[in-house]
């Protein structure tokens, strides 16, 4: 171990059984053969780790719905980390129409350089396969985040990984599950108050400004993950102190008989009149839009306030 030098890459990995690993790649001067072999580019190294993590979440055909619902709860973060630069809160409401198992997820991922990533996503479909896909996506996003890629590049990498995995499963004759997903990924830098974001077939975030005004950035929706087109663009915004950034899945704004724009107007109105404490804000928004009845679709809401 004395020969090991400073790690060149570092990947934290959380398995579905709650085991936590820290994967390091290092330069080892003690082996001439290793020195003559050029190191893999950072993107290749991360892709290899991500592919391994994606492959681990293969369909669990023998699992019961209860098993999968419990696993899905474990895959979602128990406590969000705002890294001391954001106040954060969340709500997740699974649809009762699909036995409480779905593919929505959200996460906050602090980076070593002080930035923090916010992500919300929605895997195609419902039930066991959607929840398994959610585990794949969340793990891959966490791994790719540590490369510090711009949001549009991260989504392109994620799209490539999902397409590759689907091709490998199809080539191997294994039964495939839906691999499509939408995703919104934002990267906030507290030093500059700049927030860079990109979407993959996902609705834009809502901004609740300190004045009480609500706006929706003109963010290109992009193509869903798994399509293979990798058509993504990043948008950069400056956020004032006290601005609330609300990321959500389409279950919050889309209902039968109502279009997307009408749902966004309802969300804007709910945010404008919601309490200012984030936990109460989440409860108020979900309550005013979804109500007390069963949700037609899974709903995920992640809110973050700048300090």
Answer yes or no: are the C-beta atoms of 203 and 260 closer than 8 Å. yes
- Check whether 140 has a pLDDT greater than 50: yes
Q: How high is the pLDDT of residue 172?
A: 57
pTM of the model: 0.79
Contacts of 17 (CB under 8 A, 6+ apart): none
CA nearest to 43, candidates 12, 11, 90, 77: 11
Mean pLDDT, the chain, integer: 80
Radius of gyration over every alpha carbon of the chain, rounded to an integer in angstroms: 20
Residue 52: name the closest of 164, 184, 155 by CA. Answer: 164
Indicate the pLDDT class of residue 184, thresholds 50, 70 and 90: very high
7 pLDDT exceeds 70?
no
Query: In this structure, is the dihedral angle defined by the CA atoms of residues 172, 145, 73 and 302, taken in order, positive or negative?
Result: negative
Domains of the chain: 7-306 (3.60.40.10)
Question: Where does the pLDDT of residue 2 fall: very low under 50, low under 70, confident under 90, or very high at 90 and above?
Answer: very low
Give the pLDDT confidence of 33-67 residue by residue, as tens digits: 333 333 334 455 555 555 555 555 444 556 666 76
Q: Which residue has the tokens 């409401």?
A: 93
In a 10 Å sphere around its CB, with 0-12 CB exposed, 13-18 middle and 19+ buried, how is residue 72 labelled?
buried
Higher-confidence residue: 92 or 62? 92
| pLDDT for the residue numbered 146 | 94
Most confident among 38-52, 83-97, 128-142 (mean pLDDT)? 83-97
**Among 118-127, 133-142, 198-207, 292-301, whose mean pLDDT is lowest?**
292-301
Helix extents (H) in the chain: 32-36, 42-56, 65-75, 128-145, 151-171, 260-272, 278-289
What does the block give as tokens for 107? 């996460």
Place of tokens 């704004």: 253
**CA 68/CA 300 separation, integer angstroms:** 18
Comparing 9-23, 245-259, 291-305, which segment has the lowest mean pLDDT?
9-23
Which tops the pLDDT comparison, 262 or 127?
262
CA distances from 108 to 38, 53, 159, 264 (A): 34, 19, 20, 23
User: What gap in Å lies between CA 200 and CA 138, rounded to an integer?
Assistant: 14
- pLDDT 10s digits, 98-109: 556 778 999 999
Task: Return the higher-pLDDT residue of 94 and 212.
Answer: 212
State the Cα torsion 220-197-259-255 to the nearest 10°: 150
> Rounded to whole angstroms, how far apart are CA atoms 205 and 119?
11
The average pLDDT across 183-207 equals 98
């Amino acid at each position: 171990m004395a020969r090991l030098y400073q790690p060149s890459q570092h990947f934290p990995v959380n398995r579905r059984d709650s085991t936590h690993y820290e994967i390091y790649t290092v330069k080892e001067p003690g082996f001439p053969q290793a020195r003559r072999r050029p190191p893999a580019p950072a993107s290749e190294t991360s892709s290899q780790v991500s592919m391994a993590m994606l492959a681990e979440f293969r369909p669990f055909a023998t699992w019961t719905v209860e098993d999968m619902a419990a696993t899905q709860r474990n895959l979602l973060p128990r406590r969000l980390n705002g890294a001391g630069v954001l106040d954060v809160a969340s709500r997740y409401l699974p649809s009762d129409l699909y036995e409480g198992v779905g593919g929505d997820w959200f996460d906050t991922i602090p980076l070593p350089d002080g930035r923090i990533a916010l992500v919300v996503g929605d895997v195609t479909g419902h039930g066991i396969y959607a929840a398994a896909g959610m585990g794949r996506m969340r793990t891959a996003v966490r791994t790719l985040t540590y490369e510090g890629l711009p949001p549009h590049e991260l989504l392109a990498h994620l799209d490539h990984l999902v397409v590759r995995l689907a091709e490998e499963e199809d080539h191997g004759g294994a039964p495939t599950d839906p691999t499509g997903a939408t995703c919104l990924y934002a990267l906030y830098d507290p030093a500059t108050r700049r927030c860079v974001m990109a979407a993959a077939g996902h609705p834009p975030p809502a901004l609740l400004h300190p004045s009480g005004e609500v706006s929706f950035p003109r963010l290109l929706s992009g193509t869903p993950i798994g399509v293979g087109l990798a058509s993504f663009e990043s948008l950069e915004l400056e956020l004032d102190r006290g601005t609330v950034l609300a990321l959500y899945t389409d279950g919050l704004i889309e209902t039968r008989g109502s279009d997307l724009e009408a749902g966004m107007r309802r969300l804007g109105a709910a945010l404008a009149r919601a309490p200012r404490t984030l936990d109460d804000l989440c409860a108020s928004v979900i309550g005013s839009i979804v109500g007390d009845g069963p949700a037609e679709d899974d709903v995920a809401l992640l809110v973050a306030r700048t300090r």
